[in-house]
């Protein structure tokens, strides 16, 4: 069994001008969206997301992160409500603050 030589010229067609223009527009749009997103973040988030390839990846990651924080906050709030007890001498008032 012999190995054939790979010739990139014969297997990879050159992109058309319209495809090149579409890619350039997409690349510029990514920069136009990513830069303001990074500019509005605090420095820790900027460092975390400065090398992310697309704004969609950034948004997906941020949603997951803040969804988890919201879930944790809801848990803490419900836990504190469950732990509240009414004092025996004041049945209508809560001891929670």
Residue 58 three-state SS: helix
Give the chain's radius of gyration (CA, Å). 27
* Whether the predicted model's global pTM rises above the 0.85 cut: no
**How confident is the model over 45-85, as pLDDT tens digits?**
899 888 888 888 999 999 998 898 999 999 999 988 888 87
Whether the CB-CB separation of 87 and 93 falls below 8 Å is answered with yes
Where along the chain do its domains lie? 21-83
Least confident of 6-15, 23-32, 37-46, 87-96: 87-96
Residue 66 three-state SS: helix
């Amino acid at each position: 069994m012999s190995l054939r030589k790979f010739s990139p010229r014969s297997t990879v067609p050159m992109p058309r001008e319209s495809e090149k223009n579409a890619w350039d527009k997409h690349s510029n749009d990514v920069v136009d969206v990513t830069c303001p997103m990074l500019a509005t973040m605090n420095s820790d988030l900027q460092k975390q997301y400065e090398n992310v390839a697309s704004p969609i990846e950034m948004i997906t990651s941020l949603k997951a992160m803040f969804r988890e924080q919201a879930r944790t906050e809801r848990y803490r709030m419900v836990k504190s409500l469950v732990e509240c007890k009414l004092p025996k001498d004041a049945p209508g008032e809560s001891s929670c603050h």
